[in-house]
Amino acid sequence: MKFFATCSKGTEGALRQELAALKLPAVRGGRGGVHFEGKLEHGAKACLHSRTAMRVLLELAAFPVSGAEDLYEAAHAIDWTPWLTEKTTLAVEATGLAPGVTHTGFAALKVKDGVVDQLREKLGARPDVDSRNPDVPIVLHLDGGQGTLSLDLAGEPLHKRGWRTTTSVAPLKETLAAAVLLLGRIDTGLPFVDPLCGSGTLAIEQALRARCIAPGLDRSFAFQRWTCYRDELQSRWDKLRGQARAAVLPSLPAPIFASDFHPKAIDACRRNAHLAGVAGDLVIEQANVRDLQPRGEAGTLCMNPPYGERLIAEEDGPEARSAARTQERKLVGFYRLLAELLERHDGWSAVLLSGNPLLQQALSRKAEIDHRLWNGPLEIHLLRYRL
Ligand SMILES: C[S@@+](CC[C@H](N)C(=O)[O-])C[C@H]1O[C@@H](n2cnc3c(N)ncnc32)[C@H](O)[C@@H]1O
């Protein structure tokens, strides 16, 4: 079977590293994700263990597309009985465009028609559509004249781990935070400090990683509702989960500190850490970053400072220019404060996510890693400094 695990743009290297470490067969980097091959249990293993994948797709067919009828024909030609019965539900999500296919909703409808017509012919009845929580999520991807039909193993995107119910300003996606920890080469054996923790995403992901808690350990996935699950996969899945549970460390190898000056952020961080099962592992405090002192001889400062809303634009009128200048001055002052914080941490490392070039200017140091990532549509830089 051919799989494609998707991830945020710029984090493909972290995902490839993870899937290779899981010893999945034929791991190969791609655009916006990583390919691998194997049995259904290999796809399930990626859902259980990957911290950076957004989705794990099982490719069922790849075919040329020159019009909408090709979508119907391709869907109708696949044997859907290993995945669906007349009693399970499906949904089709379409992305991209192809010649003669200019509307994704229409493309999804053609695929759905092909699937249900084939099952009606084979089983004498057709399954229903459930667009909110389908048993079998089908994904159609169109790119130029090529179409791919896949099944989404997880259903709900993998970044929705279930623990982040409360957010504060500008939270990072869990999968992006996990990628930052991997790409920033953060050592789980040394103290970790996030002094701008917001809802705690970086610190919680670091705790889960350091205690080897698999992100999918307590989740249920769409593939568990597929026809072939009970026959082929259930016993393997139970075994994989049992092994993952046995690998969990009872405590952290090194302390993790999370602080923020905003009381609401601290509340959110505490609640999320509790739901993630790591509340006992984190030291969570309300504090201003200006007062932070080193917590030991060595460790990692890891943070996602505010980016500021925007820089001054040429088309701005005098009032907008003056407001943007005031905001920029404040931000530069704050970035200088962070530069002083780094000065105080001789012997440590710092991993920062920067969405504003003014931050790098204020730090005036050479980064040992400068990696481009995307936080949604926003281009940001992961910077690692040796202090
Ligand atoms: C971009 S947010 C961090 C979001 C976080 N990574 C998350 O995933 O939720 C920046 C945080 O810095 C905090 N902050 C700003 N100035 C601060 C200061 N002087 N001391 C401590 N925290 C501060 C804000 O309250 C905010 O929560």
* CATH number of domain containing 337: 3.40.50.150
Burial class (CB in 10 A: 0-12, 13-18, 19+), 102: exposed
CA-proximal residue: ligand 1, atom 14 (nearest) = 196
Q: How far apart are the CA of 17 and the centre of ligand 1, in A? A: 29
Q: DSSP code of 222?
A: G
Please indicate whether residue 345 or residue 98 has the higher confidence score (pLDDT).
Answer: 345
- On the question of pLDDT at 50 being above 90, the answer is yes
pLDDT for position 313: 65
CA-proximal residue: ligand 1, atom 27 (nearest) = 198
Identify whether residues 122 and 270 lie together within a single domain.
Answer: no
Determine the Cα–Cα distance for residues 311 and 327; give it in Å rounded to an integer.
9
Which residues' Cβ are closer than 6 Å to ligand 1?
Answer: 168-172, 196, 198-199, 201-202, 260-262, 265, 288-290, 304, 306
pLDDT for position 311: 56
Of ligand 1's atoms, which has the minimum distance to the CA of residue 269? Answer: 9
What's the rounded mean pLDDT across residues 78-103?
Answer: 94
Determine the Cα–Cα distance for residues 293 and 195; give it in Å rounded to an integer.
10
pTM here is 0.94
With beta carbons less than 8 A apart as the criterion, state whether 268 and 168 touch: yes
Q: How far apart are the CA of 180 and the centre of ligand 1, in A? A: 17
Q: How far apart are the CA of 290 and the centre of ligand 1, in A? A: 12
Task: Kindly state whether residue 162 falls inside one of the protein's structural domains.
Answer: no
- On the question of pLDDT at 169 being above 80, the answer is no
The rounded Cα 277 to chain-centroid distance in angstroms is: 19
Q: Where are the alpha helices (DSSP H) in 344-372?
A: 357-363
pLDDT for position 312: 59
Residue with tokens 């040992």, as numbered in its chain: 368
pLDDT for position 171: 85
Mutating to test ligand 1, I would choose from 164, 167, 205, 262 the residue with most ligand atoms within 8 A of its C-beta, which is 262
Task: Kindly state whether residue 206 falls inside one of the protein's structural domains.
Answer: yes
Amino acid at 201: T
Mutating to test ligand 1, I would choose from 159, 259, 260, 307 the residue with most ligand atoms within 8 A of its C-beta, which is 260
Task: Kindly state whether residue 224 falls inside one of the protein's structural domains.
Answer: no
Identify whether residues 206 and 337 lie together within a single domain.
Answer: yes
Q: What are 310-319's pLDDT values in tens digits? A: 555 667 788 8
The rounded Cα 258 to chain-centroid distance in angstroms is: 21
Please indicate whether residue 23 or residue 100 has the higher confidence score (pLDDT).
Answer: 23
Q: How far apart are the CA of 25 and the centre of ligand 1, in A? A: 40
Q: How far apart are the CA of 199 and the centre of ligand 1, in A? A: 9
What's the rounded mean pLDDT across residues 193-198?
Answer: 97
pLDDT for position 162: 87
Neighbour count for residue 168 (Cβ, 10 Å): 19
Identify whether residues 128 and 182 lie together within a single domain.
Answer: no
With beta carbons less than 8 A apart as the criterion, state whether 161 and 257 touch: no
Range in 58-67, 178-187, 224-233, 266-275 with the lowest mean pLDDT: 224-233
**Per-residue pLDDT band at 328 (split at 50, 70, 90):** confident
Dihedral sign (CA 16, 19, 20, 25): negative
- On the question of pLDDT at 83 being above 70, the answer is yes
Identify whether residues 184 and 137 lie together within a single domain.
Answer: no
Q: Could you tell me the residue range of the domain that residue 260 belongs to?
A: 174-211+252-386
Helix axes 12-21, 174-183, angle to 10 degrees: 80
Q: How far apart are the CA of 319 and the centre of ligand 1, in A? A: 27
Determine the Cα–Cα distance for residues 300 and 279; give it in Å rounded to an integer.
20
Identify whether residues 6 and 142 lie together within a single domain.
Answer: yes
Give Cα separations from 101 to 140, 147, 272, 280 (angstroms): 12, 11, 43, 53
pLDDT for position 144: 85
Identify whether residues 273 and 382 lie together within a single domain.
Answer: yes
Please indicate whether residue 216 or residue 324 has the higher confidence score (pLDDT).
Answer: 216
Identify whether residues 188 and 137 lie together within a single domain.
Answer: no
Extract the tokens encoding 170: 């500008």
CA-proximal residue: ligand 1, atom 8 (nearest) = 171
Q: How far apart are the CA of 195 and the centre of ligand 1, in A? A: 8
pLDDT for position 199: 95
Determine the Cα–Cα distance for residues 281 and 23; give it in Å rounded to an integer.
29
Q: DSSP code of 327?
A: H
Quick one: which H or E segment has residue 55? strand 55-64
Determine the Cα–Cα distance for residues 227 and 224; give it in Å rounded to an integer.
9
Q: Which long-range contacts (CB under 8 A, 24 or more apart) does 72-75 make?
A: 72/110, 72/111, 72/113, 72/114, 73/114, 74/111, 74/114, 74/147, 74/149, 75/110, 75/111, 75/112, 75/113, 75/114, 75/115, 75/118, 75/149
Task: Kindly state whether residue 228 falls inside one of the protein's structural domains.
Answer: no
Identify whether residues 293 and 378 lie together within a single domain.
Answer: yes
CA-proximal residue: ligand 1, atom 3 (nearest) = 198
**Per-residue pLDDT band at 324 (split at 50, 70, 90):** confident
Task: Kindly state whether residue 216 falls inside one of the protein's structural domains.
Answer: no
With beta carbons less than 8 A apart as the criterion, state whether 361 and 384 touch: no
Task: Kindly state whether residue 163 falls inside one of the protein's structural domains.
Answer: no
Q: DSSP code of 233?
A: I
Determine the Cα–Cα distance for residues 167 and 278; give it in Å rounded to an integer.
17
Q: How far apart are the CA of 142 and the centre of ligand 1, in A? A: 39
Identify whether residues 68 and 205 lie together within a single domain.
Answer: no
CA-proximal residue: ligand 1, atom 12 (nearest) = 196
Task: Kindly state whether residue 7 falls inside one of the protein's structural domains.
Answer: yes
Identify whether residues 40 and 126 lie together within a single domain.
Answer: yes
Q: How far apart are the CA of 304 and the centre of ligand 1, in A? A: 7
Question: Quick one: what percent of the chain has pLDDT higher than 90?
Answer: 87
Last residue of a domain, one of 118, 152, 186: 152
Q: How far apart are the CA of 266 and the centre of ligand 1, in A? A: 10
CA-proximal residue: ligand 1, atom 1 (nearest) = 306
Summary mean pLDDT of the chain = 94
With beta carbons less than 8 A apart as the criterion, state whether 248 and 162 touch: no
The rounded Cα 77 to chain-centroid distance in angstroms is: 33
**Per-residue pLDDT band at 202 (split at 50, 70, 90):** very high
Of ligand 1's atoms, which has the minimum distance to the CA of residue 262? Answer: 25
Of ligand 1's atoms, which has the minimum distance to the CA of residue 201? Answer: 8
Task: Kindly state whether residue 226 falls inside one of the protein's structural domains.
Answer: no
Mutating to test ligand 1, I would choose from 169, 180, 196 the residue with most ligand atoms within 8 A of its C-beta, which is 196
DSSP conformation letters of 70-125: HHHHHHHHS--TTT--TTS-EEEEEES-BTTB--HHHHHHHHHHHHHHHHHHHHSS
What's the rounded mean pLDDT across residues 232-244?
Answer: 95
Q: How far apart are the CA of 356 and the centre of ligand 1, in A? A: 15
Identify whether residues 129 and 263 lie together within a single domain.
Answer: no
Q: What are 253-312's pLDDT values in tens digits? A: 999 999 999 999 999 999 999 999 999 999 999 999 999 999 999 999 999 999 886 555
Residue with tokens 């781990």, as numbered in its chain: 161
Identify whether residues 205 and 123 lie together within a single domain.
Answer: no
Determine the Cα–Cα distance for residues 306 and 304; give it in Å rounded to an integer.
7
List the CATH number of the domain containing 20: 3.30.2130.30
Into how many domains does the chain fold? 2
Geometric angle at alpha carbon 152, from 150 and 156, rounded to 5°: 155
With beta carbons less than 8 A apart as the criterion, state whether 85 and 124 touch: no
Q: What are 119-155's pLDDT values in tens digits? A: 999 999 999 999 999 999 999 999 989 999 999 999 9
pLDDT for position 346: 96
Q: How far apart are the CA of 67 and the centre of ligand 1, in A? A: 50
